[in-house]
Amino acid sequence: MSERKKRKPGETREKLMSAALTLVGKGRHFASLGIREVTRQAGVVPTSFYRHFRNMDDLGLQLVDELGLVLRRMMREARANVLQADKLIEESVGIFISHAQANRSFFLFMAQGLAGESRAIQDGIRSEMRYFASELANDLQRLKLVDHLCDGDLEMTCDLVVRSVAFSLTDLMGVSAEDEYQVEQIRKRTCRFLQLIFVGAAHWDNKHL
């Protein structure tokens, strides 16, 4: 038998996951990826796949878990860098966009998964977004910026914020990362969206009925 490469434990597993991400990054849709294709990209024999995943959906689910880590890292950085409240939106959107560029394939995978073909992956991503929104609500409450809102309305506002940012993600994934002009347009537009939402939140109570 041909020689066996030395490997660290779990190396192939990672190679397979990042191979799938690479293919997604090249413009493929996750739902259209096949086992052989992924193993080929990973430089591994097809049957190795089954040592780590039951099928492609399983791999997708584990990618969602890793996506959670990426998002948490991003949140941590945002919390550390957003000190004064006046530039809160600009800073946060900037950090979001730079993370989205740095982990382009991951965020591409996330954007795809929202309307993907595996219900489990959909739910996973949706759950990450819900967590994100609730953390955002926590932060806003801590900063006392919107303390006139009841819990439900604060949650709704954060939900809308997260959705708007997620939709901007789709825009961002549609342009080349080097096209700085387009990226800047998306950044500005996203900021304006969030400003509009927060203006709405600031004047919300009288409309609450």
102 near DNA (CB under 7 A):
no
Binding-site partner at residue 56 among DNA, a second copy, none, CB < 5 to 8 Å by type: DNA
Chain length of the chain: 209
Interatomic CA distance for residues 41 and 83, integer angstroms? 43
Q: For a second copy, which stretch binds (CB under 8 A), given 28-36, 78-86, 90-98, 131-139?
A: 28-36
Question: To which residue do tokens 């293919």 refer?
Answer: 23
Question: To which residue do tokens 């948490």 refer?
Answer: 72
Q: For DNA, which stretch binds (CB under 7 A), given 30-38, 68-76, 123-131, 178-186?
A: 30-38
Q: For DNA, which stretch binds (CB under 7 A), given 2-10, 66-74, 132-140, 162-170?
A: 2-10
Nearer to DNA, 4 or 207 (CB): 4
Contacts of 79 (CB under 8 A, 6+ apart): 139
Total residues in contact with DNA, by rule CB under 7 A: 28
Q: Which of 105, 124, 99 is nearest to 33 (CA)?
A: 105
Cβ burial, residue 3 (10 Å; 0-12/13-18/19+): exposed
189 near a second copy (CB under 8 A):
yes
164 near a second copy (CB under 8 A):
yes
Binding-site partner at residue 28 among DNA, a second copy, none, CB < 5 to 8 Å by type: a second copy
CB atoms within 10 A of CB 53: 19
Q: For DNA, which stretch binds (CB under 7 A), given 40-48, 103-111, 147-155, 196-204?
A: 40-48
Are 45 and 39 contacting, i.e. CB atoms less than 8 angstroms apart?
yes
CB of 114: closest distance to DNA in angstroms?
A: 22
Interatomic CA distance for residues 124 and 115, integer angstroms? 12
Residues at the site binding a second copy, with contacts judged by CB under 8 A:
27-29, 31-32, 108, 111-112, 114-117, 119, 122, 126, 156-157, 159-160, 163-164, 166-167, 170, 173-174, 189, 192-193, 195-204, 207
